Amino acid sequence: MKRVVISGVGAVSPLGGDVPSLVGGIEEGKSAVRYMEGWDRYVGLRSLVAAPAELKNEKAIPRKSRRSMGRMSVFAVQATEQALADAEVGREVLSSDRIGCIIGSTMGSAESLCEAFETMLPERDLSKLTAMKFFQCVSHTAAMNVAQYLGITGYVMATSAACASSLQAIGAGYDLVRMGKQDLVLCGGSEELHPTVTASFDILFATSTGYNDDPQRTPRPFDAERDGLVVGEGCGMVVLEEYERALERGAKTYGEIIGYHTGGSGDHVTQSNRESIVRCIGAALSSAGISAAEVDYINAHGTATRHGDEVEAQAIREVFGDAVPVSSLKGYFGHTLGASGALELIASLAMMEKGVIYPTLNLETVDEGCKGIRHVMRPLRSEIGVLMKNCFAFGGINAALVCRRLER
């Protein structure tokens, strides 16, 4: 099997339109969560907070390409262009069938889906829909639009597994490169914010509802006063590249992917399952050929739901005990769903580079059910040689990725 490195990163997040804004906002302890004006007109919506990203400079994308893009696809194009520039990969090489694109999301553009139904349903008049609206709504809209915009002819795939989507995308790209099927793959996830997206969690009593008047105090991963997740939006993209190829062209590398696993719980459609998470983490460690003692940092899924945080903490405790520092980044920019794995991995790679672990924002008192692991509650200076990124999605879909600081 070939070695796989991360040679470029790009991000659009609630903290800003690039990677420095993402990392800098976390370093400064910023929260991008705010009260959403106008959401109170949705009858029955209890959670009125979210973490929006700013949509800007979208007209830099030519209209011919942009007309099939919803908000999430614009984010994806922008983050991908950043990642390519960071990796110093020119567009002229992207037409090779040895270069692919895998972008995950929960669904297509939520705003476009709502617009389509609101336009069509009153009179059931399909003639009112534009020809391009369909392409904004399809579940593979981000992957499709990025690939078309960049002229990519290699593997084009879309992983759709809710909160595990972008980590699955990166895992799939890792497999393609290490098996020699692609030399370079653009991987990540994109998501967009809409009140109906928050509502889908609100209906399940999974959202934060008690901090509408104090939005920056939520979400609160692992905290005794947590009351649910807060939805965010954006896109995270990474360039995965075969090691020798990256070395030959003198590319900067952020880390080497050495292990990955994804698997289902087969247990419950909404409730996390400790045993299946333990299996997933164990399989990722096994594929990396390392022991739990060799992991220096765990970037938790940590959504701030009552059940999810407790089960994840139990699973981490069972595998790692209290030896490994653990933090969640969702207190800074909410749960970006299909983009969360990629955005949080990018921030974790920055920690690896800087030798510092960013704390879980809003974690003040560790909940009794989340004790027994080493929570990071203030910035921690620590060398990170190996990190693990976790993502656990509705439907019992678990994913874990292991990266190490590059060893030549």
Residue 375: pLDDT band with limits 50, 70, 90: very high
Residue 194 is among the residues annotated as catalytic for this protein: no
User: Is the pLDDT confidence value at 264 over 70?
Assistant: yes
Topology given in CATH for the domain delimited by 4-248: Peroxisomal Thiolase; Chain A, domain 1 (3.40.47)
Residues 187-237: tens digit of each pLDDT: 999 999 999 999 999 999 999 999 999 999 999 999 999 999 999 999 999
7 CB neighbour count, 10 Å cutoff: 26
pLDDT band, residue 408 (cuts 50/70/90): low
pLDDT of residue 293: 98
3-state DSSP assignment of residue 347: helix
Pairing of strands 99-104, 184-191: parallel
| Gap between the Cα atoms of 278 and 312, Å rounded | 9
Q: 301 catalytic, yes or no?
A: yes
Whether a cis peptide bond, with omega within 30° of 0, leads into 215 is: no
Q: How far is CA 300 from CA 149, 161, 341, in A?
A: 33, 17, 10
| Tokens 């910023």, located at residue | 30
Query: What pLDDT is attached to residue 268?
Result: 83
Q: Which residue among the candidates 101, 137, 163, 187 is catalytic per the annotation? A: 163
> Nearest 10 degrees: CA dihedral of 132, 135, 141, 144?
-90
Question: 101 in helix, strand or coil?
Answer: strand
Q: Where in the chain are all domains bearing CATH 3.40.47.10?
A: 4-248, 258-404
Of all residues in the chain, what percent are helix, strand and coil, respectively (each to 5)? 40, 20, 40
Contact 350, 172 (CB under 8 A): no
Assign 266 a pLDDT band (cuts: 50, 70, 90).
confident
pLDDT of the residue at 270: 78
Region 2-25: mean pLDDT is 98
Average pLDDT over the chain, rounded to an integer: 96
Q: CA angle at residue 189 from 261 to 230, to 5 degrees?
A: 100
CA–CA distances in Å: residue 395 to residues 108, 201, 269, 284, 306: 18, 13, 4, 20, 17
Q: What is the pLDDT of residues 29-44, one digit of tens each?
A: 999 999 999 999 999 9
Its pTM stands at 0.97
Q: What is the pLDDT of residue 267?
A: 84
Task: Respond yes or no on whether the N-terminal peptide bond of residue 52 is cis (omega within 30° of 0).
Answer: no
- pLDDT digits 0-9 by tens, 58-70: 999 999 999 999 9
Question: What Å distances lie between residue 320 and 2, 260, 273, 294, CA to CA?
Answer: 28, 17, 17, 10
Q: For 136-144, what is the mean pLDDT?
A: 96
The CA angle 213-218-223, to the nearest 5 degrees, is 130
Write the pLDDT tens digit of every residue in 100-134.
999 999 999 999 999 999 998 888 988 888 889 99
177 CB-near residues (< 8 Å, 6+ apart): 2, 4, 183, 184, 185, 240, 241, 242
Q: Could you tell me which CATH number the domain at 258-404 has?
A: 3.40.47.10
pLDDT band for 147, please (50, 70, 90 cuts). very high
Place of tokens 């289902």: 264
pLDDT digits (tens, 9 = 90+) for 345-370: 999 999 999 999 999 999 999 999 99
**Which residue out of 301, 375, 391, 403 is catalytically annotated?**
301
pLDDT, residue 127, reads: 87
What is the pLDDT at residue 131?
A: 84
- Residue position matching structure tokens 């190996």: 386
Task: Name the DSSP letter for residue 166.
Answer: H
Q: Is 335 a catalytic residue?
A: yes
* Secondary structure (3-state) at 363: coil
- Among candidate residues 101, 335, 375, 403, the one labeled active-site is 335
What residue type is assigned to position 101 of the chain? Answer: C
Proportion of the chain above pLDDT 90, given as a percent: 92
Within 10 Å of residue 85's Cβ, how many Cβ atoms?
12
Annotate 237-277 with DSSP letters as a single string: EEEEEEHHHHHHTT----EEEEEEEEEE-SS-SSS--HHHH
What would the pLDDT profile of 307-337 be if each residue is shown by its tens digit?
999 999 999 999 999 999 999 999 999 999 9
Q: Which DSSP letter does residue 126 get?
A: G
Q: Which pLDDT does position 407 carry in this prediction? A: 66
